[in-house]
Structure 1
Amino acid sequence: MQPIERIGIIGNGAVGMLMASLLANDYTVTLYGRVEETSVVTIERDGMTNGTVDVTLEPVHTLDETKADIFFVTTKAHQVEAATARLSGNVPVFICSNGISHLDYALERGFHLGVIEHGVTRDGNRIHHSGLGRVRIGGLSDVAGISFIDSPLHIVWESDIRHVVIEKLFANAIINPITALCRVPNGVVLQPPCRDVALAIYEELTSLFDEAVPFTYIESIIEKTATNRSSMLRDVEADRPTEVDAILTPLLKRAEDRGVELTVIPLMQKLILGASASC
């Protein structure tokens, strides 16, 4: 693969703007979003990292894959297919959305996967980098590892990205619905009675996957993000569509395919749908 000089980031939400603002120091970065015309946006970043960066923002419907050497997709899961419709896979594409609903789509299109571990929130063009982590990427097909200039994003290549995605799913399936329904920051999930619900969800998750994800991993994520408000909680509070269909709904289909009876996860899914509808 040729050296990476130009990076396209699809999705101008909090994660997309964080990545664009940190990569723009070393690469030519174009941000794509649901806007009507091309402009230059000034992204202000505070928190774990500070800085002000100008980045080109283009309408996603004008996306041209010949203008980038690699693409990161940072949209919500239900927006992935529309956001990537103009991409062929000839240029590496890494879908960094939550859940597993996009796994089959990525395989079908010849795309790859990424997992974002940073904490970030957005207010207009100002973003708060609330937690340092990694951007973990990997291929779903025979593709050589890709390296990047070192930055606070800490982009790392994973040989088994599918397992990384399953780990993130476990964390999201536990943290997001509990915090959204109880309207609490992540750290509360480790305290009774939320901890009891977390353990019940975890037990059902382990029955659906052959990969082992220790509960201590979930605990470590919660501890690192204790003061954060999950994306599902923020979506419910802002009357936006949640990612329940990317995080919880596919688990119901997986349980049906495996002949596994679930109790807690279906209840959480219905409650989130109800909470979203009532906002």
Structure 2
Amino acid sequence: MTTHWILGPGAIGRLLAHSLAPLAEVAVIGRRPLPGQQILTTPEGETRAQHLPSFTAERLAAGAAAPPAFVHITTKAMVAEASLASVASVLPSSTPLVLWQNGFYAQPRISQTWHGPVLCATTTQGAYVTGDDSVVHAGRGPTLVGDLDNQHTALATTLAALLSNAGFTATAVGDIRSRLWQKLAVNAAINPLVALHGVRNGALRDDAYSGRVIAVVGEVATILEKEGIAPPNGGEGKAAWLALVWQVVENTANNKASMLQDMEAKRLTERGAILGPLIESAERHGLGCEVLKGLDQELALLEAEF
């Protein structure tokens, strides 16, 4: 069996560990060890318990753990580089990394500095933690895997096959850069709004919030057109982006988005990794983005109270 280290025991990290554990050896790595017995609640409401080994980076550095086949980094985007640095001393420089971050911040930075293969994964699987020993799998969705320069197709195909066997319905793609921008568009339309209003994803369909979703997507569609990112699913313009957002909202209606989880826990959000690249792109292209800037400011004000 291959060994997979999962660096960052948040919702997606634990869901990934639960999914891979029957097929591979997994180790969940965080700032503090978690209970070994972990509980997963499926989208159908079933509960499953299994043992997931949990370590701190310091313990790994002090021991003589065998090198993993893959290191999955499932931390927040803004701390992904620091998290990698915490285990880099015990990793061969050729170790493949898999980056699961929201936004488009950590992916280019780590891809440029790590000597081994760096794959990027984007998923619409929905999950949220309910305690140190439990995670809820709130909604299923496709997962895409590839590298920014399209140089590791075989590795991406191997990983996608394993993830699919684990229930992630994964596909290796040669255009992951565009797919990450697509995910960024969805995140920008969903995460800030559910975080600000304290609602789950499905509530965005309500009249009270849908207008704000449409306004965000309007700005995002214009920005991505300037970036040369084609609308999804062969569609055209704003309508195609809006259809994608509503599809994800529907698929993850019961999900508590990561930014909402951060707000509830009074943690800093990933607004810099999600809204930041879009705002920077708009300014670079001379585009207005008052809606996106407004969301960023609203989130910043709430974060200042933590």
TM-score normalised to structure 1 length:
0.90
1:60 correspondence with 2:75 = no
Query: How far is 1:43 from its partner?
Result: 1.0
**In structure 1, how many angstroms separate the alpha carbons of the residues matched to 2:92 and 2:189?**
34
Could you tell me which of 110, 120, 125 is aligned with 1:113?
120
CA distance in 2, matches of 1:238, 1:248: 20
1:63-91 deviation per Cα after TM superposition (whole angstroms, max 9, x unaligned)? 68961111211111111011112156512
Conserved 8 A contact 1:106-1:112: no
- Give 2:305's aligned residue: 278
Task: Quote the Cα distance in structure 1 between the aligned partners of 2:28 and 2:295.
Answer: 35
- Which residue, 5, 16, 25 being the options, matches 1:28? 25
Whole-angstrom distance in 1 between the partners of 2:27 and 2:200:
33
Q: What secondary structure, in the 3-state scheme, does the structure 1 residue paired with 2:29 have?
A: strand
Contact 2:40 2:48 in 1 (8 A): yes
Distance of 2:99 and 2:123 partners within structure 1 = 10
Among residues 103, 106, 129, which one is paired with 1:102 in the alignment? 106
Q: How many Å separate the matches in 2 of 1:224 and 1:166?
A: 19
| SS of alignment partner, residue 207 of structure 1 | helix
**C-alpha distance after superposition, 1:214-272 (max 9, x if no partner):** 21111100111122222212211221111111111222211222222211100110001
Q: Does 1:220 align with 2:247?
A: yes
> Is 1:91 aligned with 2:95?
yes
SS of 2:105 mapped into structure 1: coil
Could you say which residue in structure 1 is the equivalent of 2:12? 15
Unaligned runs of 5+ in 1: none
Aligned to 1:135: 143
The structural deviation recorded for 1:17 is: 1.1
Cα distance in 2 for partners of 1:276, 1:8 equals: 31
* Distance across 2 between alignment mates of 1:88 and 1:65: 12
What letter is aligned with 2:36? V
In the aligned structure 2, how far is the partner of 1:66 from the partner of 1:125?
26
Alpha-carbon distance in structure 2 between the residues aligned to 1:134 and 1:59: 30
Q: Distance in 2 between matches of 1:9 and 1:129?
A: 17
Q: 1:175-194, aligned counterparts within 5 Å?
A: 175-194=190-209
The 8 Å contact of residues 141 and 251 in structure 2, kept in 1 or not, is answered as no
More moved, 20-29 vs 62-71 = 62-71
Deviations 1:131-178 (A, max 9, x none): 122332112231123231612223332221112211211111011111
The letter for the 1-side match of 2:170 is I
Q: Is the 8 A contact 2:268 2:303 kept in 1?
A: yes
After TM superposition, give the deviation of residue 6 of structure 1 in Å.
1.1
Aligned with 1:103: secondary structure?
Answer: helix
TM-score by length of 2: 0.83
SS in 1 for 2:165: coil
Partner of 2:216: helix, strand, or coil?
Answer: helix
Q: Which moved more, 1:202-211 or 1:56-65?
A: 56-65
Provide the alpha-carbon RMSD of the alignment. Answer: 2.1
2:51 is equivalent to residue 51 of structure 1: no
Identity of aligned residues (%): 26
Measured in 2, the distance between the counterparts of 1:182 and 1:157 equals 35
Q: Deviations over 1:6-57 (max 9, x none)?
A: 111111112111111121111111111112x6x7711111123642111221
Matched residues in 1 for 2:166 and 2:17: separation?
Answer: 12
Task: Give yes or no for contact 1:65–1:91 (8 Å, CA) kept in 2.
Answer: no
Partner of 2:180: 165
Residue 116 (structure 1) shift: 2.5
Aligned residues of 2:140 and 2:251 also touching (Cα < 8 A)? no
The farther-off stretch of 253-262 and 48-57 is 48-57
The whole-number CA distance in structure 2 between the counterparts of 1:276 and 1:159 is: 37
Whether the 8 Å contact between 1:132 and 1:152 is mirrored in structure 2 is: no
Count matched residues.
274
After superposing the two structures, state which structure 1 stretch, 52-61 or 14-23, moved more.
52-61
* Map of 1:242 onto structure 2: 269
Aligned pair in 2 of structure 1 residues 217, 247: CA closer, same or farther (>3 Å)?
A: same
**Alignment partner, residue 81 of structure 1:** 81
